[in-house]
Structure 1
Amino acid sequence: KYQGKVGRSLLTYVNKQTSEKKKYVLSVLKFTYPTLFQGWQTLIGGLLLHVSWKLGWAEINSSSRSDVSTWLPASVLYVGIIYAGSRALSKLAIPVFLTLHNVAEVIICGHQKCFRKEKTSPAKICSALFLLAAAGCLPFNDSQFDPDGYFWAVIHLFCVGAYKILQKSWRPNALSDIDQQYLNYMFSVVLLAVASHPTGDLFSVPDFPFLYFYRFHGSCCASGILGFLLMLSTVKLKSLMAPGQCAAWIFFAKVLTAGLSILLFDMILTSATVGCLLLGGLGEALLVFSEQKGS
């Protein structure tokens, strides 16, 4: 019980801090070089996970080459998730980004219903409809509408949906969550480092005005460390709690993050925008309810 309580508190705090640090670097300081920023994030995460493994704080199992090669498509999608998410978050407010991000659950629900022929509860169907309606209406009611931000958010949510589908279809005991994340980190560092040259980020970054700004360095380091802690606390929480309870705490952390971000970053709220955000929140709450009922 004590470990579960600490894990829930850590998840809520770290999720809020991670989103705010990333948003500060991407939108306030306008560090729009995603291959370098996400490459740094995954490098820090991979190093910290490797150190945790050596110290015995995390368990990474040696996997066969077939398991590693089979997981590579998921690692490619992971790179798409963090790259597109970084581009979208630099343009969109955190509550808007989270509302669009949640549409990935609609993709997962549709795949389960149409391709795997799984029985879907009415609450889950209503949840998918609410999430889709909220995301569909949001661009028409967002007074700070940015087409580039919405474009990358759509790419992000499709990558998230496909990644979770692959993750759920992965055979049990082949790769643990920690093993999967370790492979994601290693693959991401290599791919993003290679991509930094053709995208022009490598040669454009010397022109960044805050390159030697201490807050920029501090926020980048904090974002990398907090991102690692968020991943680790989420994995630990999943192992300690039922899926429905874990989903409830993740939902609570998202709501807290979205609410505080409105106070910290500029966002113009209209009644229509608030309605879309509340509809998206209701959809995710129904999803949590359906998972708790299922478990």
Structure 2
Amino acid sequence: MCVRRSVVGLTFCTCYLASYLTNKYVLSVLKFTYPTLFQGWQTLIGGLLLHVSWKLGWVEINSSSRSHVLAWLPASVLFVGIIYAGSRALSRLAIPVFLTLHNVAEVIICGYQKCFRKEKTSPAKICSTLFLLAAAGCLPFNDSQFDPDGYFWAIIHLFCVGDLFSVLDFPFLYFYRFHGSCCASGFLGFFLMFSTVKLKNLLAPGQCAAWIFFAKIITAGLSILLFDAILTSAATGCLLLGALGEALLVFSERKSS
């Protein structure tokens, strides 16, 4: 079982890394910035691969009534917002900056759980949300490659992510957002979604959070070497503060699980 968990975790990290680097290359280097086409392409590839997986017995798809489908419509709108805003932001921002801003969605989720579900929040989790907010809030003032449009779309993206995961129930096909515009990106997006579902089904929340954190760290680190990213000492401090916040979030998840 331990070997299986490690394989699933490493597969997820590989898909996460490959997906983000491929999408960043297409969006920034090749300058293909048409989010609507992204959505259509990713949905087509994802739908075809999901159908093949269902035929092969890899996934189980339960039929749903019309009322259930209607209940998914709000989440479907948020999913479109995640793709559109995320691709806009990723085309303009460095991957470490994008991931740091994306982590603020965890703050939205934590706030919803605290205020509406009345769930207990550990001190470590509260500290992590404060660090994540501080890191994201300080970045615009210290980013030497500051792009107003990039930050605007990143804010829209993180609110869509936070609302989707905190408020709405959504079928697992749309469990994870897709970014991309080419064939490789379409396949990587599907396998990233598939490996994410496997990871969350097989591992405890704390272990799952640790693998996601590890994937973000290696993705952010490698992206600095592959793409033009000018990080000042102050911006680097913001990124490290965000990493510390997410590390505390992982710690709180492992402690509560």
With the shorter chain as reference, the TM-score category is: over 0.9
3-state secondary structure, aligned to 1:280: helix
- Distance in 2, matches of 1:114 and 1:8, equals 32
Q: Which residue of 2 aligns with 1:241?
A: 203
- Equivalent of residue 172 in structure 2, options 169, 177, 180: 177
1:136 alignment partner AA: G
Does 1:274 find its partner at 2:253? no
Residue segments in structure 2 that go unaligned for 5+ positions in a row: none
1:271 Cα deviation from its structure 2 partner: 0.5
Q: Which residue of 1 aligns with 2:145?
A: 144
Percent identity between matched residues is 77
Q: Which residue of 1 aligns with 2:248?
A: 286
CA contact (8 A) 1:74 1:166 kept: no
1:116 Cα deviation from its structure 2 partner: 2.1
TM-score using structure 1 length = 0.83
1:3 Cα deviation from its structure 2 partner: 2.4
Q: Which residue of 1 aligns with 2:56?
A: 55
1:284 alignment partner AA: E
Does 1:31 find its partner at 2:26? no
1:271 alignment partner AA: S
- Distance in 2, matches of 1:255 and 1:150, equals 21
Instruction: Tell me the number of residue pairs that the alignment of Structure 1 and Structure 2 aligns.
Output: 255
2:76 alignment partner AA: S
Q: Which residue of 2 aligns with 1:45?
A: 46
**Which ranges of 4 or more aligned residues in structure 1 deviate by more than 4 Å?**
none
3-state secondary structure, aligned to 2:31: coil
After superposition, what is the alpha-carbon deviation per residue over 1:96-133, rounded to whole angstroms, capped at 9, x for unaligned? 00000000011111112222222111111100100000
- Distance in 2, matches of 1:89 and 1:271, equals 22
2:201 alignment partner AA: S
Q: Which residue of 2 aligns with 1:231?
A: 193
CA contact (8 A) 2:175 2:197 kept: no
With over 3 angstroms needed to count, the CA separation of the structure-2 counterparts of 1:123 and 1:251, relative to structure 1, is: same
Q: Which residue of 1 aligns with 2:4?
A: 3
- Distance in 2, matches of 1:146 and 1:17, equals 25
1:38 Cα deviation from its structure 2 partner: 2.5
1:181 Cα deviation from its structure 2 partner: 4.9
1:158 alignment partner AA: F
Q: Which residue of 2 aligns with 1:15?
A: 16
- Distance in 1, matches of 2:242 and 2:211, equals 17
3-state secondary structure, aligned to 1:90: helix
1:21 alignment partner AA: T
1:163 Cα deviation from its structure 2 partner: 0.2
2:236 alignment partner AA: V
Q: Which residue of 2 aligns with 1:99?
A: 100
Does 1:257 find its partner at 2:252? no
- Distance in 2, matches of 1:273 and 1:73, equals 36
Structure with the greater alpha carbon radius of gyration: 1
- Distance in 2, matches of 1:116 and 1:10, equals 33
2:234 alignment partner AA: A
- Distance in 1, matches of 2:150 and 2:171, equals 33
Where do 1:160-239 residues align within 5 Å? 160-167=161-168, 170=169, 177-178=172-173, 181=175, 220-239=182-201
Q: Which residue of 2 aligns with 1:108?
A: 109
TM-score using structure 2 length = 0.95
- Distance in 1, matches of 2:121 and 2:175, equals 29
After superposition, what is the alpha-carbon deviation per residue over 1:70-99, rounded to whole angstroms, capped at 9, x for unaligned? 111111101101110000000000000000
1:176 Cα deviation from its structure 2 partner: 5.5
With over 3 angstroms needed to count, the CA separation of the structure-2 counterparts of 1:91 and 1:176, relative to structure 1, is: closer
Root-mean-square deviation over aligned CA pairs: 1.8
Q: Which residue of 1 aligns with 2:89?
A: 88
2:59 alignment partner AA: A
1:259 Cα deviation from its structure 2 partner: 0.3
Where do 1:70-89 residues align within 5 Å? 70-89=71-90
Where do 1:114-153 residues align within 5 Å? 114-153=115-154
- Distance in 2, matches of 1:139 and 1:17, equals 27
